[in-house]
Amino acid sequence: MFEILKDSIESYVRNVGLILFFSIPFIISLVLLLPPFSPAPVFSALGGYFLRSGSIPEMTNLDLLVIVLSSGLSLLFISLAAVAVTLVVKSSKTRTRVSAEAMRNLGKYTFQVFMIFIAFKVLEVILLSYLVSIGTNELPVYIFSFLFSLALFYIAPAVVLEEKKPVPAMVSSLKHIARRPINFVVWLIIAFILLYISASLSFLMFVDPMLRQGFIILVNSLFILPFLVVLQAHLYISKYTIIK
């Protein structure tokens, strides 16, 4: 595990220019979810934005339309950034030019990952809306989201590195987590620590809430999220022990 983390840091540092460039969509994706851009009852935590499900019945059609458009565009830019950064890792491992690789496959990979994310969100919203409408507990949504999230965890590496189709990619993600659960747990711990540090620094450096949000968006988008994607790709590649 230490060797994988070391390789991930070296890969990030070696390709930092390209990774920063390809990470710009992360900024756009987070800005699209900022509370000022949405009339919905949202709140932020550790740089993420969340909708209060209990307020869904009070939302107008315009509110829902804004949420759908902003969330859809946000997922598109997240898909683009994740795929592009993973392509950088793939190119560094296969010794191919990033520009040529990106020109040929960036659009195809992004579309595949984006459609998988959209399918997940649509199913999640349908289930949540149904449970809210009948006034029952939302526990099934949490269980569904957790299980589906496991299938999505290695989706970008599976699509980009192995060129798998959506369903096989999700199956591959689940298999990889089942075979090497420690990798998944370590990734979560590293992600939590980095996001916690980013949020803590924002509170130490700024008093204004908007400045805090701006700082978190920049740090998370340009440094933390790209590194986590690089680490994710290296964790996925680790199943091929012959690759160094």
Task: Give the DSSP letter string of 75-138.
Answer: HHHHHHHHHHHHHHHHHHHHT--HHHHHHHHHHHHHHHHHHHHHHHHHHHHHHHHHHHHHT--S
Q: Which residue has the higher pLDDT, 40 or 240?
A: 240
pLDDT above 70 coverage of the chain, percent? 78
**Does some domain include residue 144?**
yes
The arithmetic mean of pLDDT across residues 61-70, rounded, is 70
CA of 28: how far to CAs of 110, 150, 197, in Å?
16, 25, 22
Residue-wise pLDDT tens digits, 13-28: 888 888 888 788 777 7
Return d(Cα 194, Cα 191) in angstroms, integer.
5
Show Cβ contacts of residue 205 under 8 Å, excluding neighbours closer than 6 positions.
Answer: 215
Q: Which range is least confidently modeled, 46-55, 75-84, 148-157, 197-206?
A: 46-55
**Residue 244 is assigned to a structural domain of this protein:** no
| Domain limits for position 182 | 2-237
Average pLDDT (118-127) is 85
**Long-range pairs for 144-152 at CB < 8 Å and ≥24 separation?**
148/120, 148/123, 148/124, 150/174, 150/177, 152/116, 152/117, 152/120
Residue 98 belongs to a domain = yes
Structure tokens at 60: 């107008």
Total count of domains within the chain: 1
Answer yes or no: is 151 within a domain.
yes
Average pLDDT of the chain?
79
Name which residue leads in pLDDT, 17 or 135: 17
Residue 226 lies in a domain: yes
pLDDT at 50 exceeding the cut of 70 = no
Residue 243 domain-assigned (yes or no): no
**Which pLDDT score is estimated for 177?**
93
The pTM (predicted TM-score) of the whole model is 0.80
- Supply the pLDDT for residue 99: 58
Three-state DSSP class for residue 44: strand
Is the model more confident about 127 or about 56? Answer: 127
73 Ramachandran zone, left/alpha/beta (phi>0; psi -120 to 50) = alpha
At 154 the pLDDT is 93
Q: Name the residue with higher pLDDT: 225 or 70.
A: 225
Residue 242, domain member (yes or no): no
pLDDT, one tens digit per residue, over 179-232 is 999 999 999 999 999 999 998 999 999 888 778 878 888 888 888 989 999 999
What percentage of the chain exceeds 90 in pLDDT? 23
CA separation for the pair 157, 154 (Å, rounded) = 6
68 by DSSP, 3-state: which? helix
Is residue 124 in a domain? yes
Q: At residue 3, does pLDDT exceed 60?
A: yes
Q: Give the model's pLDDT for residue 189.
A: 94
